[in-house]
A and B are shown apart, each in its own frame.
Chain A
Amino acid sequence: MVSAGVVLDLVSAGLLVAGGLFAVSGGLGLLRLPDFYTRVHAVGLTDSAGAGLILLGLLLQAPDWATAVRLVLILLFLLLTGPTATQALAQAARRDGVKIWLDGEPER
């Protein structure tokens, strides 16, 4: 018989590790993809996913209600602002005439 605390710890650890993997893969994509729009794609997706998974993993470990409420606030705020910032950034680059990379061109 496994106690509830152990199951909670395992699920929380799994969520934290998954979030860490998303974060690292976002960093790798940002570093290795060939142009700005592909990098926005990599970062915009993995930022929200990594933040959500890590904060959910922490939420399962929250010792009291005050901590849990703060975690949920941070999560909601990141989920609101992350995509907004990404969209504003991509639109600013588009308006500024940043060229789209086509297959076969050198990366920039």
Chain B
Amino acid sequence: MFLAGMVAVLVAMVLALARAFLGPGLYDRILAINMVGTKTVLFIAVGGFLFGRPAFLDIGLFYALVNFVATVAVLRLTHYRELGVLPREEPW
């Protein structure tokens, strides 16, 4: 049962990676990588249960944080061309 969940998550990760490599646009790739990150969290959580080591969940929690911050940072980078700029007048 855990194995089935793990295989399904792995298949989804492979499909998303294919889109990340194919993806014609920048945002397609960011979207695909964001999805791979979410699926990695699920993969780690299910794997922890499969191998009887629920302490893996801490790693999953950490990975979820890193994934979100990385996505937002990359989006800032594509907009401002650098990371540490204050927002301009325009509402976004």
**Interface presence of A85 (CB below 8 A):** yes
| A interface residues with partner B (beta carbon < 8 Å) | 9, 12-13, 16-17, 19-21, 23-24, 26-28, 30-31, 36, 39-40, 43, 47, 50-51, 54-55, 57-58, 61-64, 66-67, 70-71, 73-74, 77-78, 81-82, 84-86, 88-89, 91-93, 95-96, 98, 108
Main secondary structure of the interface of B (DSSP, over half): helix
Number of residues on chain B facing chain A (CB within 8 A) = 47
Q: Within residues 41 to 92 of chain B, which ones have a CB less than 8 A from any CB in chain A?
A: 41-42, 45-46, 49, 54, 57-58, 60-61, 64-65, 67-68, 71-72, 75, 78-79, 92
Contact A26:B35 (CB < 8 A) given known A20-B8, A54-B45, A61-B49: yes
Q: Which residues of B contact A20 (CB under 8 A)?
A: 4-5, 7-9
The A-B contact count (CB < 8 A) is 144
Is B39 within 8 A of A84, CB to CB?
no
Report the nearest A residue to B7, measured CB to CB: A20
Instruction: Supply 15 further A-B pairs (C-beta < 8 A) apart from A55-B45, A73-B61.
Output: A16-B4, A23-B42, A30-B19, A30-B35, A31-B15, A50-B12, A51-B38, A57-B5, A74-B57, A78-B64, A85-B71, A88-B72, A89-B30, A91-B92, A93-B25
Contact A58:B58 (CB < 8 A) given known A13-B1, A89-B31: no
Is B38 within 8 A of A47, CB to CB?
yes
